[in-house]
Copies of this chain bind each other. A is one copy, B any other.
């Protein structure tokens, strides 16, 4: 390839990102070179800042500026509710919705034994300890409605049963704005199961 060494190296690094193929990496790298030194430096700086400033909250395990994170440190949040999620991205979506005022616990991911994420890697001890020691009365299991998320929810139920807290699971069914005729059968089945009396 007739590219300068540094540019080829950048393409290689970009190519390692998920969803960025060889051609995509080439396009991004050339865009960056064209966009000028200031933009490239801004991106590099943003990357370095992340390695310096982002840490994991020791209480809820989400990504944070400080430890404990702003949510865990907020006395206004409902200390009795604990929402268990698969990832910081799920937490961000929940917070963006602005419908939940309790606390969180972020797992290392959903159970994925093939990717080396077995029950031991999910660090459930921290969750169990927290529930036993604190004022938590309800654990809302908010893993995703996928095979992995369901297996994770089952594991959580097994681990937390008998700990004296109320275990709940996010409701399943048609998303708001959804259209029955385009809904898959499993979602419809869950919608029926979760039907409510009017």
Residue ranges of A at the interface with B (Cβ–Cβ < 8 Å): 1-7, 9-10, 12-14, 16-19, 24, 26-33, 37, 39-55, 62-65, 70-71, 87-89, 91-92, 94-96
Contact = CB atoms under 8 A, between A and B. Distances in A.
Given A3-B92, A30-B89, A33-B63, 19 more contacts: A1-B95, A2-B88, A2-B94, A3-B63, A10-B49, A12-B46, A13-B42, A13-B43, A13-B46, A14-B43, A16-B39, A17-B32, A18-B28, A30-B87, A41-B47, A41-B48, A43-B47, A44-B45, A47-B47
A126 to B, nearest CB: 18
Contacts of A12: 46
A27 B87 CA distance: 11
Contact of A63 (B7, B64, B70): B7
A89 to B, nearest CB: 6
A7 B26 CA distance: 25
22 contacts: A1-B95, A1-B96, A2-B95, A4-B53, A4-B54, A6-B54, A10-B46, A14-B43, A18-B28, A19-B24, A27-B89, A29-B50, A30-B88, A33-B50, A33-B54, A33-B63, A40-B47, A41-B47, A43-B44, A44-B44, A44-B48, A47-B47
> What secondary structure prevails in chain A residues at the interface with B?
helix
Given A2-B62, A91-B2, A50 B7 contact: yes
Contacts of A52: 6
B47 A10 contact: yes
Chain B CB within 10 A, most for which of A37, A39, A46: A46
A111 B29 CA distance: 22
Contacts of A7: 50, 54, 63
Contacts of A16: 39
A174 B130 CA distance: 67
A82 to B, nearest CB: 16
